[in-house]
Structure formats: C-alpha cells, structure tokens
Amino acid sequence: MSLPVGLYTATDSHTFHFHQLQRGTSDRVRNKRVNERTGEEVALDDIVKGFDTGGEYVLVEPEELADVAPGRSKALEITGFVELDEIAPIFFDRTYYLGPRGKDYGKIYHLLARVLSDANRAGIATFVMRQREYLVAVKAEDGLLTCHTLHWADEIRDPHEQLDDLPGRTKVSPKERQMAEQLIEALAIGWDPEDYHDTFQEKVAALIEAKRAGETVEKAEPAAESTNVVDLMEVLRASVENADGAGKGRGGPGRRGRRASGKPAGARSPKGGGAERRPGDLQELTKAELYDRAAEAKVRGRSTMTRDELIEALAA
C-alpha cells in the first residue's frame, strides 16, 4: 500500500544552545579539523571516512557512500498492519506528523486514520531520508496520522548483558505485595502531560535573564541523601504514609479523596452536619484531585475523562 504524504516534525527540544567564547571577550571559539599526529589543520576536501577493522582502517570516499545510498523516498510503502500492543515501547524513537500530499489524497488519508484507530493497529513501512533507511509505524491519533521511527531489532540491547547486577526472580510475601499495591493505589493519579514541565530548563532561562539584568539567582536545593534503608517493609510503609500525608497537606481531602470524617468525597452530610458540597466547589480542584475523587466514587471511564467531564460526573 502506497500513500503519498508530507513529513513534519512533531516535537521540539528544550536544549539551550550556547556558543563557546574566550573568557573576557565576545570572541567565538571555533573547532578545527586537526591532524592528531602533526597538529596541522586539514582541509575538508582532504578528509575521508575510515572504518576501524581492528588496527587497520578501510577508507571510504564520500562519492562511494553516495553511490550505494538508496534514493530518498517519495512515499511511504506500508507492507502490513500490526497490533499496536505488539510493538514494545523500547522500539519507538521519534515522532512526526503526516499530512496528505495534496487535496486528492485527503479522503484516503482520513479513511486510513479512522480504520487504524478503530482497529488499534499500525502500518509498518520503511522509507529513506538523509541517506538513511528508517523503519516506521504509522498510527492514528485524534484523527491525524503520525509516523513513529522505530529502532531496528539489532539496535535493542540485551538488558542481561548490560546490567551486571540485574536481580533474578525473588520470593515476595503476601504482606509485601499488599503493601506495594497499597502504595501504588495511594499514589494513583490521572495522566495529564500539562501537569509536568522541564524545571531545569526554566531555571537555565531564569539564570540567563538574571545575568542579563545583573541580578543573582538562588542556588538549587541539594539532593536528598540516601537513607540506606534496606528493609522493604519499612520503605513501603514510610512511602505509603508520605503519600497519604502529601494528600492531606494540600488543605483538602487525602490522596484517595476522603473528607476528614472518613466519608467519600461528594457524600451527603447528615442533617445539621453542614451543607452538601456544591458542584461549583469542584471547579477549584486540580484534575489530579478530581481524579482522586472519581476513583473513590468508582466513576467508570475516569482515566479517559477530561477535567470538565470529571467535574460533570462528580457533580451528578
């Protein structure tokens, strides 16, 4: 199956790009190509690529690489469709948006996006860009086709060869399992990527702005020291207590959305015990807090709800 599409970058990087300057000046410092034996600078035309075969180099000229490089792809050639769940997360690399190459392909574009979404499948294809061949998965996201470059199978490293201290299977007691499950449940939240941001890059930006203005920036807090606690039950117990305390410390209900009386959030108070929580009060809660209350109230489908849908479900 061939689909002419345009490839568009879908992500940006937070990385700040600094130039190298000589201290005390605004003079740029440039990197030069220097012969490591003679110390002399080498012209670009005199540089060839060499592959080390173990003490001996095989030299390859730029034009020789160009002769064997495949031509740039004009279309994605989809060879088949696989279940999305069959592709392990470790294989995914970069993401691109795909757009139809002209109005004539709009109908097939939207049709493919719809059926891929309904079937929860991805099209597997290969294409060439910048003299490199890529393995990709084409999938549907919110009515849009996206292209995810995949690592080749031989690029995935065996963890058993990379990790010397990888533990084997160990026996876990029912109490330890119960405590671990309790910790996960206590820290259960709804997924909203807007709740997370790159604080280090924000601090770098603040540092640059402060230095421009001649101001100073407070240093970051030192990292917490390890407690060297090895008792699993003590670690889990302390983590559960901290999770519960963090929820109560917000000035509202605990992590599981209970009031101080221990009643589920949104439950009607007895007569004389105060007014029932009004739907308008829910507007003051974050999405994570709303999700906690929805979990306590056992609202079905809460994991895929938006903030407004959570408010509506809890108000009902």
DSSP string, 50-69: EEESSSSEEEE-HHHHHHHS
**Cα(134)–Cα(125) distance, integer angstroms:** 8
Please tell me the predicted confidence (pLDDT) of residue 227: 60
Please tell me the predicted confidence (pLDDT) of residue 221: 75
DSSP H or E segment with residue 146:
strand 144-150
Comparing C-alpha atoms, which of 116, 109, 127 is closest to residue 83? 116
Structural tokens at position 227 = 């407690």
Please tell me the predicted confidence (pLDDT) of residue 128: 82
Those residues of the chain that have pLDDT short of 50 are 249-279
Beta strand pairing call for 57-60 and 92-100: unpaired
Comparing C-alpha atoms, which of 47, 19, 13 is closest to residue 31? 19
Please tell me the predicted confidence (pLDDT) of residue 272: 38
pTM more than 0.75: no
What's the Cα-to-Cα distance from 7 to each of 43, 75, 92, 129, 166, rounded to whole Å? Answer: 35, 10, 17, 10, 40
Structural tokens at position 136 = 């990709």
Q: What dihedral do alpha carbons 208, 212, 216, 220 form, nearest 10°? A: 0
The neighbouring-strand residues paired with 97 are 8, 146
Comparing C-alpha atoms, which of 143, 93, 91, 154 is closest to residue 115? 143
Phi, psi of 267 (to 5 degrees): -75, 150
CB 110 within 8 A of CB 96: no
